[in-house]
Amino acid sequence: MHNQKIKAALIAAAVCLGACDAGIGKSALSGVESTQTSLQTLVSERVAAAEFSGVILVADQNEIIFEEAYNSSSLEDAFSVDTNSQFAIASITKSFTAILVLQLVEKGSLSLDDPLSAYLPSFHASYADHVTLRHLLQNRSGLPHYTEIPGWFDPEFKKTLMPEAMLSAIASMSPRFEPGSDYLYSNANSYLLGLVIEATTGASYDTVLSEQILGPSGLKQTGQIYDDDVVAVLVRNALRGEDGTYTHVPVVNPQVFRATASMSTTARDLFRWHKALQTDILLSSESKAIMFDPIMPMAWTVGAVPLNSGETLSLQTYNGEMIGYTSMITRFPDHRGTVIILNNNDAGYDLLANLTLEIAAELYGP
C-alpha cells in the first residue's frame, strides 16, 4: 500500500481538481447523462493508452453512475474480464481486518492499547509486551515488512513456508523504532492481527470475516484466494515483461497472506461494502471515527483536496498490488460516492491513483 505516495498524489490532485475540465460543472446527479458521457470519454482514453484490463465502477449519492469492464487487445482470451469478475485485492484485505478488530473492541473482547502478549501469550517475541493492537493497526509497530524474511522471493522457499515457520520468522524480527514513535508499512502487522482475531473468537479468520462482514454487507462474491471455489472463478493475473508480452504468474502459497492480502472480490461487492460502511451494520460511528482518523487512520489513507470553489473534497482510500493484480477503492464520504478500480494486468499504482483523481475532478470539480 503506497501510503506516502498517495498523500503526495492528493497534493497534486489539488491542481487537477481545480483546473481539469474547468468547463464541466459537476454534481453527478444534476446531469447524469452528461457525467456518464464525460466519464466514458475520459476512462476510454486512459485505459486504451495503458492497455488496461479490468473493471471500473463509479458511484455518487450511493447510485452507480458508471460501470465498465475493459479487455486489453494485448491479452489472450484466457485473461478476459467482465463486470462480475473476481479479482485479488491484495492489501485492501487489511481494511477488512481492521474492521474485525474494531468490532471485537466494541464487544469488549479486545482493547486497542493492550499488548500483543495479552492475546497471544505463546508468541514469544521480544516486542510482544510493547507492541499494542493500535500500533499494529496504524502501522506504527516498527516491525519490518515480512518480505524481508530471508528467502521470501524464492518461490520454492515460499511454497514450503508453513504457518509455524511464518510466525517464528515474524517473532524473530526486531522493531526498527520504538513502537508508536514512527510509521512503517508492514504486512507483519495485519498478519498478527489475524492471529489475534482467531485467538479471541476461537474461530478461523475466514469464518469470522464471513459472519461479521461478508454476510451483513451482502457480499456474495467475496472470498479468499486460497479457497478452491474462489480459485476456480478468479480472473487470471498477467505480468508484463520487458518485451511487452504478458505472462500468467500464479500466487505461491497464498495462505501466507491471510488477513493481510488474501481476499478476492468484485467491483459490485466492494460497492456494497462501501455502502455498509455508511451505516452501523459493521461499525459504530465512534469506531469509524477511529478507523478514519485523518492523522493516524487504520488500514486507510484519509485526506482532503481543495476545489476552486474554496471547498474541500474529503476522501478515504486504500489500494492493493499482487503480481499483476492492482486494485483501489476511494470513498468520498460527503457525497456518498466511490471510485473502484480492479485490474489484472499489472497496471500499477500510479495509473489507478491518477485515474481516480481525474474521475473525482469530473464528478466534483468546479
SS (H, E, C) 178-209: CCCCCCCCCHHHHHHHHHHHHHHHCCCHHHHH
Max intra-chain CA distance, the chain: 62
Q: Determine what percent of the chain is predicted with pLDDT higher than 90.
A: 78
Rounded Cα distance, 187 and 143, in Å: 9
279 Cβ neighbours under 8 A, 6+ residues apart: none
Confidence (pTM): 0.92
Q: How far is CA 307 from the centre of its chain?
A: 26
- The pLDDT tens digits of the residues spanning 263-317 come to 999 999 999 999 999 999 999 999 999 999 999 999 999 998 777 677 889 999 9
Q: How confident is the model at residue 35 (pLDDT cuts 50, 70, 90)?
A: confident
Kindly state the average pLDDT of the residues 344-365: 93
Q: Could you tell me how many residues make up the chain?
A: 366
Rounded Cα distance, 363 and 366, in Å: 9
Domains of the chain: 3-364 (3.40.710.10)
Task: State residue 34's pLDDT score.
Answer: 84
Rounded Cα distance, 329 and 326, in Å: 11
Rounded Cα distance, 313 and 325, in Å: 28
**Is 25 exposed, middle or buried, given 0-12, 13-18 or 19+ CB atoms closer than 10 A?**
exposed
Strand duo 63-70 + 54-60: pairing: antiparallel
Whether 52 has a pLDDT exceeding 80, the answer reads yes
Cell numbers of 4, please? Answer: 506516502
